[in-house]
Structure 1
Amino acid sequence: MKRLGLFLITACLSVGVMAADVIKGERKEVFGDVTVHYNTFNSTFLTPDIAKGAELIRSKNQGVINVSVIKGGKPLIAQVSGTVKDLTSKTVPLSFRQITEPGAIYYVAQYPVDQQETRTFEIKVQIGDKINTLNFNQELFPGQ
């Protein structure tokens, strides 16, 4: 599982270079003393071993969203939920699973990517009774 964590951290910090709000390849939102790191990518970027270890489907028509929540430099347990919407306003709920490793907590979900298009993501991160929402657009491409 250590390889999974390393991959998800790398994916979270490097694939997001396309976003306008990226600083040093990192996509994040800061809510007070809590930082939410997030990224989305096609599941074909995962090696078969990592996909299997994370119980993710590796397919050219499947995307992955990876979210981590940090407070004071340490991973934080949260409730993560969200949706992804296409240009026709068809909304798909995201079913996040928590992956816990020594020193890291990740929340991952998959969604279909049938064609090239820009999608709108709405992610809710709940810590205690406080809910923080982040919204972003991402152009997606089916994998090769």
Structure 2
Amino acid sequence: MSKTFFVKTVMVVSLIFSGFVMAEQKETLGDWDVHYSAFNSTSLSPAIATQYNLTRSASKGVLNIAVLDKKTQKAQTPGVTGQVVNPLGQIQELDFQQVTEGDASYYLAQFEHSNAETLRFTIQVGEQQFKFNQEFWLND
């Protein structure tokens, strides 16, 4: 997969899943580039939510993760797991579903959130891990 094709794919996926293009969020883990975005599920159209078996709700978010080979930028499928922790220390395990469309492959999971809540994500990609924090708001 060419770099241009990948960039276009990321832009399309971002548009589909978030309703707007966000700044790229990327972690490099060994030989992988891990691209991720977390957003409120109400950004999804009802048709897209149904297509990917996702629930649209003001209090539900979606995490989208794509793993690419750092050199070739080809999609990788190392397996992804993770959890989310809210400010009260309550833990939610993320139940990722793998989606493959042509040469693209990515992982989707949903999580609960409250208004103005900063969540701590811990993501395991194969044998490697990364963490990030993100604030969420209730949207209709």
If the TM-score is normalised by the length of the shorter chain, which range does it land in? 0.7 to 0.9
Q: CA RMSD in A?
A: 2.0
Shift, 1:59, TM fit: 1.1
Deviations 1:7-27 (A, max 9, x none): 534458933xxxxxxxxx210
Partners of 1:70 and 1:38 lie apart in 2 by 11
TM-score by length of 2: 0.84
Question: Which residue of structure 1 aligns with residue 55 of structure 2?
Answer: 57
Shift, 1:112, TM fit: 0.8
Question: Which residue of structure 2 aligns with residue 76 of structure 1?
Answer: 76
Question: Which residue of structure 1 aligns with residue 21 of structure 2?
Answer: 14
CA contact (8 A) 2:11 2:21 kept: no
Partners of 1:58 and 1:8 lie apart in 2 by 17
Question: Which residue of structure 2 aligns with residue 135 of structure 1?
Answer: 131
Partners of 1:94 and 1:8 lie apart in 2 by 20
* Deviation >2 Å, runs of 4+: 5-15
Partners of 2:97 and 2:119 lie apart in 1 by 21
Question: Which residue of structure 1 aligns with residue 6 of structure 2?
Answer: none
Q: How many residues align?
A: 128
Question: Which residue of structure 1 aligns with residue 27 of structure 2?
Answer: 29
CA contact (8 A) 2:85 2:121 kept: yes
Shift, 1:6, TM fit: 6.3
Aligned partner letter, 1:91: I
Gaps of 5+ in 1: 16-24
